[in-house]
Structure 1
Amino acid sequence: MVDQDVAMFCARCDITVEESDVPRTIQMLHEANFSDYCLEVISRLGFVESTPIQSQEWPMAVKGRDLIAIAEADSGKTLAYLLPTLVHVSAQP
């Protein structure tokens, strides 16, 4: 996505970022750079695209960045934090 696309997506999804040098927001699950296995499981569960919180959180978590996110109930927060954690844990010896 180019900067203008990111800005329009963030505005449409009410995503506010108060830091500079933030990884680009993603729109589709395959952009999150999770393993094929993770993406396959997510797809089988019926997820097609990421929620706004996942769109912003996953790129940051994959790069090891810290963040504080505020979102409504049932917005996808649990999967936003849990999936990168599981990927990290599974990569440990």
Structure 2
Amino acid sequence: MVNKFLLKEFGTRIRKLRTQQNLSQEQLSFKTGFHRTYIGMIERGERNISLTNMAIFAKAFNLTVDGLLKFDNSEKLFKQYKLKTED
């Protein structure tokens, strides 16, 4: 459940950055080398992408990887995570 929330938040972040730069999914696809449908799946929270692919998105948006991962709901997100020792 937490993973699904994280994937949706990341997808929302990618969509927001893409639209702020007035890019279509197809234009972002050309910029990153990823297929347009892959970008759509990420934006819908259907794909759990690799750190390498995150770095490609960060570069495409002229951000660092940690800048790419700045979510609007980060407090809510991390409150939902529990460590094994917290059970």
- Give the alignment's TM-score, normalised by structure 1: 0.32
Greater fraction helix: 2
For the pair shown, which has the larger CA radius of gyration, 1 or 2? 2
- Give the alignment's TM-score, normalised by structure 2: 0.33
Relative contact order higher in (CA < 8 Å, ≥ 6 apart): 2
